[in-house]
Amino acid sequence: MEETEPPFIDDNISSALPSRFRMPPITPFSGSGDLTKHLESFKAWMKLQSASKPIMCHSFSLTLARAMQSWYKQLKLKLISSFANLSKAFLTQFIIRKERRKPSTHLLTIKQREGETLKDHIIQFNGEAMQVNDYSNKISLTTMIASLREGRFLFSIGKNPPATLGELMNWV
């Protein structure tokens, strides 16, 4: 029986659920993907639900896929005294699975290919830009312009450069 009890100190166990409480509609963490994103999504949803820290502790295991729940069950009994402790234990255990972000210089490697439409290139560029660690509009604007192949559009940008990425998108 002790093995199936949650690993929380006694005062963390009893807490009433808020009225209209719902579990977060997030995909259970299975070990793939970014564990930090999973944790942040969970915390944001729980904050929206006005859930207490004890409720967060108890609910978190339900956002773990079956294989990950074995980690949760193996936590030492009465080890977790707060959601911060649980978060730290989760991050420590699965940090190797953290999604690696790319440096902003990665955007310099993206070039519009021959035959690739401007629209397709922008979609590809934006997808890559979302994976950049230190994303900024200035860097994206500069690297987006540098990624374009020579042609009328690039020439028109050179004559009257846009001040923002949004302005560039309006020209497309």
Three-state SS sequence of the chain: CHHHCCCECHHHCCCCCCCCCCCCCCCCECCCCCHHHHHHHHHHHHHHCCCCHHHHHHHHHHHECHHHHHHHHHCCCCCECCHHHHHHHHHHHHHHHCCCCECHHHHHHCCCCCCCCHHHHHHHHHHHHCCECCCCHHHHHHHHHHHCCCCHHHHHHHHCCCCCHHHHHHHC
Task: Output the pLDDT for position 109.
Answer: 92
Q: Does 61 lie in the same domain as 45?
A: yes
pLDDT: is 27 or 32 the higher one? 27
How much is the average pLDDT of 98-119?
A: 84
Token readout for 74 is 């193996």
Task: Output the pLDDT for position 91.
Answer: 83
How much is the average pLDDT of 99-125?
A: 86
Give the structural domain span for 131: 104-171
Question: Among residues 97, 114, 132, which one ends one of the domains?
Answer: 97
Does the pTM surpass 0.75? The reply is no
Condensed to tens digits (0 to 9), the pLDDT of residues 2-28 reads: 445 555 655 444 566 677 778 888 888
Q: Does 84 lie in the same domain as 47?
A: yes
Question: Among residues 97, 117, 135, which one ends one of the domains?
Answer: 97
Considering 15-19, 136-140, 146-150, 156-160, the range whose residues carry the highest mean pLDDT is: 146-150
Q: Does 128 lie in the same domain as 83?
A: no
Q: How far apart are alpha carbons 76 and 5 in whole angstroms?
A: 10
Task: Output the pLDDT for position 39.
Answer: 92
Q: Does 75 lie in the same domain as 33?
A: yes
How much is the average pLDDT of 145-159?
A: 88
Q: Does 76 lie in the same domain as 143?
A: no
Q: Does 50 lie in the same domain as 18?
A: yes
Q: Does 87 lie in the same domain as 7?
A: yes
Task: Output the pLDDT for position 14.
Answer: 53
Residue-wise burial string across 48-75, b where 16 or more C-beta atoms lie within 10 A, e elsewhere: ebebbebbbbbbbbebbeeebeeebeeb
Q: Does 80 lie in the same domain as 29?
A: yes
Q: Does 63 lie in the same domain as 114?
A: no
Band of residue 163 on the pLDDT scale cut at 50, 70, 90: confident
Question: Among residues 63, 97, 131, which one ends one of the domains?
Answer: 97
Condensed to tens digits (0 to 9), the pLDDT of residues 67-103 reads: 788 788 777 655 677 888 888 888 887 776 555 678 8
How much is the average pLDDT of 57-73?
A: 83
Residue 1 has pLDDT above 50, yes or no: no
Residue 45 has pLDDT above 70, yes or no: yes
Q: Does 88 lie in the same domain as 27?
A: yes
Q: Does 92 lie in the same domain as 12?
A: yes
Q: How far apart are alpha carbons 6 and 20 in whole angstroms?
A: 23
Task: Output the pLDDT for position 97.
Answer: 56
Q: Does 120 lie in the same domain as 48?
A: no
Task: Output the pLDDT for position 26.
Answer: 85
CA dihedral 111, 115, 120, 125 (to 10 degrees): 0
Task: Please tell me the total count of domains within the chain.
Answer: 2
